[in-house]
Amino acid sequence: MAIERLLKDEATEEKGERARMASFVGAMAIADLVKTTLGPKGMDKILQSTGRGHNVTVTNDGATILKSLHIDNPAAKVLVDISKVQDDEVGDGTTSVVVLAGELLREAEKLIMSKIHPMTIIEGYRMAAECARNALLKRTTDNKEDPEKFRSDLLKIATTTLCSKILSQDKEHFAKLAVDAVLKLKGSTNLESIQIIKKAGGSLSDSFLDEGFILDKKIGIGQPKRIENARILVANTAMDTDKVKIYGARVRVDSMAKVAQIETAEKEKMREKVQKIVAHGINCFVNRQLIYNFPEELFADAGILAIEHADFDGIERLALVTGGEIASTFDNPESVKLGRCKLIEEIMIGEDKLIHFSGVDMGQACTIVLRGASSHVLDEAERSLHDALCVLSQTVNDSRVLYGGGWPEMVMTREVDELARRTPGKKSHAIEAFSRALQIIPTTIADNAGLDSAELISRLRAEHHNAASAAGIDVLSGTVGDMEKLGISEAFKVKQAVLLSATEAAEMILRVDEIISCAPRRREDRM
């Protein structure tokens, strides 16, 4: 008797070999897509949205590229996901993790073709990943105790991270900006205290780090332009009720005089509210919402600087850096915590006026002002700088450092090869495959720079035969160079995250033996 179909019409299912092939092909296609963006000579991609305005993004950040893609293949979605997690967790290595996972699957495909069971491959990969991680742990350096050396390490890491981004031309300048900003955080990984303001105009090298806080707003008319020893009340309250809102209220009156009475009552209510705020003994009032003309006049008469419509991120950060709290009721002045700073003044950046708060309570805050030729350049510069700041803030906590330029991968390859020789049975094939897959990172770095990768990798392997070697790929001169002398360093945390995430993602896709896609929902005929 024929078995009835289990799934609905139009639902599809792929089993066994076909399902595995579909998963492998999707994951490898995603890896090949971002492969060209890896390394100092990686190329950029233009992403154009189909929405209104057809927004264009120019980037070589793996996570940004993959986030923008609408992907149908389920295995490819797993790789997009690990790239996002890598971006959130450590900030850098988003392309490396996808490229490595894709290569692990490419090697696994060859093993499955030669009739090795996926579970055997997974077991081998797990042993190899553990061995590779231990190899890196043995070779890390930690200069946390020596502030001078540690700062130099951070500068090297920032320079290496920025090398492959749009900021590579001014990498020393931006590395110094990023390190200064992160050291101000004093060990915190909360990057909200670092504000990045983008202003078109000038060149990237005109960007600067400002001690203190800059709010992208203008000072109102007739208000003091400079305040010393400021006491700041940060609020989120409606300051626009001095007019009758026609749309929100229905009031029946028998004469126009009554309308005037209602307006007067509204005004009095607003005057009382302003008096309550003034009673806090402040000289600066920053509000998240609108401030209408009448309360603005009252504040100006009281000599208080009133700033309206400060964006929510802006007031949250301002409350954080000045040591105040966001208030919404003003009946108990003693329970409201005011923010303080030494000086508030208006400054000009390019053509725009902004408000500058200096001498803030929390010395951890600072503002990085980015200048650049166009909004696309500024957006990409912000992404690049954000990556560097993430990596540095993680390194301040976990201060172990490795050399870069393909050196970690060659160290791991050497140890994993040793493990393969010692391991009996079919697992050794999987461990060898893992060792070959690790070499994809230095190979791609060389390929993207237009160098002969086969020649360079074989020379690197020979160099790494000596266990204490610091050899890696020097892309600028096109040869094998000494990473210690070139000052190319990477954070151990980034490399570890790349290794473990890629292995886990590859393992997850390897376990798949069936793909079931549900039937699309039918649109009902509403005729």
What is the per-residue pLDDT across 135-164, written as a single tens digit (0 to 9) for each? 999 888 888 888 888 888 888 888 888 888
Residue 255 lies in a domain: yes
Q: What angle do CA 241, 246, 252 make, to 5 degrees?
A: 110
Residue range 167-189: average pLDDT? 82
Instruction: Give a yes or no: residue 492 inside a domain.
Output: yes
Question: Quick one: DSSP state of residue 222?
Answer: T
Instruction: State residue 234 phi and psi, 5-degree precision.
Output: -100, 125
pLDDT at residue 129, as a whole number: 93
Could you tell me which of 225, 239, 213 has the C-alpha nearest to residue 314? Answer: 213
List the Cα angle 346/281/273 in 5-degree steps.
95
DSSP letter for 162, please: H
Q: Tell me, yes or no, whether 234 and 291 share the same domain.
A: yes
Assess contact for 406 and 249: CB atoms under 8 A.
no
Per-residue pLDDT, 130: 94
Tell me whether residue 201 is in a domain: no
Which domain range does residue 443 map to?
12-141+403-517
Structure-model confidence comparison of residues 101 and 241, the more confident one? 101
One domain, residues 341 and 220: yes
Does the pLDDT value for residue 249 go beyond 70? no
In-domain check, residue 115: yes
Q: Tell me which amino acid residue 101 is.
A: A
Q: In this predicted model, what pLDDT tens digit does every residue of 281-291 receive, in sequence order?
A: 888 888 888 88
Of the listed 37, 57, 61, 395, which one is catalytic?
A: 61
Contact (CB, 8 A) for 493 and 408: no
Structure tokens, 319: 């409350």
**Has 452 been annotated as catalytic?**
no
Q: Are residues 120 and 222 in the same domain?
A: no
Q: Which of 57, 94, 159, 503 is catalytic?
A: 94
Among the candidates 309, 337, 362, a domain finishes at: 362
Residue whose token pair is 């210690």:
484
- Quick one: 259 and 357 in the same domain? yes
Q: What is the pTM of this model?
A: 0.84
Q: Are residues 349 and 472 in the same domain?
A: no
Q: Is residue 422 part of a domain?
A: yes
Residue 395 lies in a domain: no
Q: What is the pLDDT of residue 3?
A: 44
Residue 445 CA to residue 448 CA, distance in Å, equals 5
CATH number for the domain harbouring residue 305: 3.50.7.10
Helix (H) or strand (E) holding 366: strand 366-372
Under 8 Å between Cβ of 519 and 11: yes
Q: Of 96-105, 198-207, 300-309, 316-325, give the lowest mean pLDDT range.
A: 316-325
CATH number of the domain at 136, please: 1.10.560.10
170 is an active site residue: no
Task: Respond yes or no: is residue 387 known to be catalytic.
Answer: yes
3-state secondary structure of 90: coil
Cα-Cα-Cα-Cα dihedral of 414, 416, 422, 425, to 10°? -140
* 33-37, 52-56, 223-227, 415-419, range with the lowest pLDDT: 52-56
Residue at 35 is within a domain: yes
Q: What is the mean pLDDT of residues 93-104?
A: 91
Both 350 and 415 in one domain: the answer is no
Residues 128, 108: Cα–Cα separation, whole Å = 13
Q: Please give the full DSSP string across 283-344, using - where no structure is assigned.
A: SEEEESS-B-HHHHHHHHHTT-EEE----HHHHHHHHHHHT--EES--S-GGGSPPEEEEEE
* Active-site residue, from 95, 161, 322, 503: 95
Q: Do residue 305 and residue 422 come from a single domain?
A: no
Locate tokens 């130099």: which residue? 152
pLDDT at 1 over 50: no
Averaged pLDDT for residues 362-367: 72
Beta carbons of 310 and 318 less than 8 angstroms apart: yes
- Nearest residue to 194 (alpha-carbon basis) of 378, 394, 363, 341: 363
> Is 252 part of any domain?
yes
Catalytic residue among 153, 379, 387, 417: 387
How many domains, the chain? 2
- 525 in active site: no
